[in-house]
Chain A
Amino acid sequence: MHVINNRIIKLFIILLLIFWLSGKNAACENTYHLVRTVKVDYGRDDNHLSLINTDSFQPIVSESFSNDSNGNFYVCDSSSNKILNYSKNGMYIKAIRSPDNISSADMIIDQSNNIYIYDAIQSQVNQINKYGVLRQSLSFNPEQLSSRGMLYISRQKLYIVDSDQRSLEIADLSNGKMKKSKNSTHKPKITMGIPAGMDRKYIVSLKRGKEGIINILEKRTQIISFIWDGIVSIRFLKEDQHKNFYIQTERIQKDVVVLDIHTFSHDGQLLNSFTIQDNQYPYWTSKLLSIDDEGNIWQFIPNVQFARINIFNKH
């Protein structure tokens, strides 16, 4: 009887522990922690990144990086014509040799794991398969873009989005092939907002120092605003496979700039705000973070002696 009682008590404690842990997990579902930092050396080996470092200008390292649908990470090293590929755990896998003479202003990867590299010098987008074979190149006229923009994929369409959040539809990506958009045969169609998810466009804005604003254009427009003291920049990053979306902000706090990631549910509820502690980007970069389809944060920092990849996973 005594043994049974002990067993019951033990079982009760275990169940309590499980219940407590599951509750804790639920509460922390949308918080992040740094799971791994990957050091990437500069050099000529396969697993190294090129660093263009003369005595006379800002050292240039890659600023093009992205995740595929499996969570793997890719850094495009255009000066040595290769793409470094890391697993979803941050383990180095391989270097994908890319075609010569492709510069990369940005890169993105579709659901079929084709890689798209935006070459701003040639004004074209190149589709490369996972072995580095150039499958197709599409030229476009950049005149309508107010600046060199970033690549986005939505509903199997490829877009370049400029500083004013206007998206230029470049190509149709149905069946893993890149075809020139019908719209872009004559005058490419440029529209306001960043296409994402199934039927949405996001436009973000801010009241400098006070408030971040998100307008979601769909059948019925959603308007979200949140007070964010000291806010100086806001950027839409991605809608993940769970339809959560991610907003990157910067704010000034005393005399430093703070970098934050905010996770919103599909219906616009703020689930989590997370501060990236390490946001000193000493070298040239216009892209700070990438979000994979699970909502994990990937940070690529071209540092002085070497580059770093920080991986932040959801609890």
Chain B
Amino acid sequence: MHYYITFIQIGLIIFASPSFSWNGSQDWQPIDQETIARIANEMIDIRWQPKKDIRNYAYSNSYTYFSSSKIYTGMAYCQNNPQENLSEFLNGIHHTNGGKTYFGNDCSGFVSICWQLPERYVTRWFHRDMGDGYFYALGAKGKSAFVHLMKGDALNASGRHIRLFDKYVSSGVQLLEQTPDLARRKTFQFSSLISYQPIRRELLINSLTVGDMIETTSDDVKVRENACVSQNNCRIISYQEKNIEGIVIDGPKTNDTYRWWKIKFNNITGWVAEGYLRPKQIETQYSYKVYQNNDWHDISYANQLTGLKDDNYIGPIIIGFPFPFFNDCYEHLYISSNGFIGFGETNEFDNYRNTKLPMPSPPNNIIAWCWRDLLIRQGKVYYQYADDRFIIQFSNYGAYSGIGTITAQVTLFSNGQIRFQYYALDNHFEMDNASIGLENHAGSTGLQLDSKAITDGMAIDFYAQPIIADKKRLVLQTPQQLSQNKLFLATHIPESGNRIKNLKGRILDKNFHQYAVAVFVYRNGWFSKPYLNKPFSEIDSDGFWQCDITTQAHDEKSTRIKVLLFHENYQLTQKINGISSMPSDILSSSVDCLDIFR
């Protein structure tokens, strides 16, 4: 916001808050989007109570009254200079003697703090210095609906206001902002964002790099001859439609306030502004755990779904949160009458002829809890929204042939975890020929479990492998982001071809000494690591484990790693020495599994 200050205010600042102020971050350095959002959310969610009643300066001659007997949520709005970050604000309100105060920050201070800029920027400076090193434009003013926004991007109206983008929601965008009188999260529609220009901070961790796969994010994306808009040699050489894939072959260049990448599309190569591109992630992988779970929570009191009959599907059903599945997120699903749940394109979602998983032929993009020729008969289907999950229950669901029924639940968790819970297989319900597992949108990746092993009370948890690959490094999610049911994880994965560093990980269960870790790498077949005769890795006193996974030659080709967790007394009787697939009895004996692609 406008850098506005009077001599009177200077005097007040000096006497009111002499030692606590935010004057910019000391080091201008890379930051990730989650950190930007975390700083913002901390200022929005803080619950505070002033020590004494205060009249806090807001803007112009306006003061906001805050009572010492009330708890407020969100840091106070204040156009005072210098600005305050959260700790400085809390220090102020916890020690105030009351009266007129100058605690808090304003919208541009809020964004400057979240972006950890070296100094406080006001909205006019955000506009003036666009593309000069700290931030760049994603699109023109009023184009927020057309570009691809990422968490932590900002929308700036020069001389007016600036706010941070948090996420897309159905009704528009959820923004994080400092406004009179308290910082807040709020949803806005695009019609009310015509005065705002979408911008992005420089030095974002995990931003695009050369070699990344991308896709376009809106129709009529302009591909230019050069990385610019304002000169003669910047002519538009092509328009690309939405969701067109390409590969980054050069860049970035910052010019005319935008950041540009040279993209090789199928039919043409040229420069595109970053705001119209989004990285295409490499496939997520899944591991799973099979276990006995008698903790059944019946939801037959919840919402009922009707419309399922022989060989059909229903949907789209709103999940209630963006559900990550393989390399995409879905907000809706379809339920097939034949024992699977699907996302996206509904081709063959009524298919009763189950195949093995994965299989390129449709249906694809599915979660198969019992894919075979089923018929609902007298059964019922219910669903329920819970805090972090969406539950579908199939009660007394029949088969097309045979009299048996199955009662089971499929639960989708917001972190991508999936749970199958088989409550009862009545009257000899036949599971033997069913397909159980997952498959991605192309049918190229997935996994299938042995359906014969399914019995009453059995549960299967699938974990989205916590690896986000961007070609140059693998970033692991923190243990907090993992499901609490996950027993172990990898903490360091050496790049393929690296013959020095070990694969490292940690067992999260406090009884880590009761487990054994076995690592296998794939290079024209599966091999035990570190040695054929020493298939288990050592676990140290804190539950950390590590393993030398180098191979004799062509180490760079060993891109697949499988790590299995067993109970400590498990005996690996079979030698794993170049076999094409891991034996199912070994897999089913493990208590947890990591599939790593590097």
Contacts and interface: CB of A to CB of B under 8 A. Distances in A.
- B: interface residue count bin: 35 or more
Contact of A120 (B45, B159, B182, B220): B182
B299 to A, nearest CB: 13
A219 interface: yes
Contacts of A193: 385
A252 B217 CA distance: 13
Interface in B181-221: 181-182, 184-192, 194-195, 218-220
Given A58-B160, A205-B170, A281-B194, A250 B145 contact: yes
Nearest to A123: B73
Interface string A251-290: 0101101010000000000000000000111101110100
Interface residues of A, number: 61
A57 B385 CA distance: 40
A103 interface: yes
Interface stretch (A4-12, A90-98, A228-236): A228-236
Interface string B37-74: 00000000101000000000001101011000010110
A134 interface: no
A220 B304 CA distance: 5
A221 B382 CA distance: 10
A308 interface: no
Given A213-B332, A233-B189, A58 B317 contact: no
A280 B170 contact: no
A57 B218 CA distance: 31
A205 B331 contact: yes
A169 B303 CA distance: 19
B170 A165 contact: yes
Contact of A164 (B64, B304, B320): B320
B185 A252 contact: no
Given A213-B332, A257-B191, A288-B191, A60 B172 contact: no
Given A221-B306, A235-B170, A235-B171, A203 B186 contact: no
A123 B184 CA distance: 12
B174 A58 contact: no
A88 B475 CA distance: 59
Given A192-B385, A205-B170, A57 B107 contact: yes
Interface string A181-218: 00000000001110000000001111111010101010
B306 A286 contact: no
Given A203-B320, A225-B316, A58 B192 contact: no
Nearest to B315: A223
Contact of B306 (A147, A220, A233): A220
Interface in B286-315: 303-307, 314-315
Contact of A234 (B171, B188, B383): B171
20 contacts: A56-B106, A57-B161, A58-B157, A60-B180, A121-B64, A123-B73, A147-B186, A164-B169, A164-B320, A204-B318, A233-B189, A233-B190, A235-B189, A250-B172, A252-B218, A257-B191, A259-B191, A285-B192, A286-B186, A286-B192
Interface of A: 52, 54-60, 101, 103, 120-123, 142-143, 146-148, 163-165, 191-193, 203-209, 211, 213, 215, 217, 219-221, 223, 225, 230, 232-235, 248, 250, 252, 254-255, 257, 259, 279-282, 284-286, 288
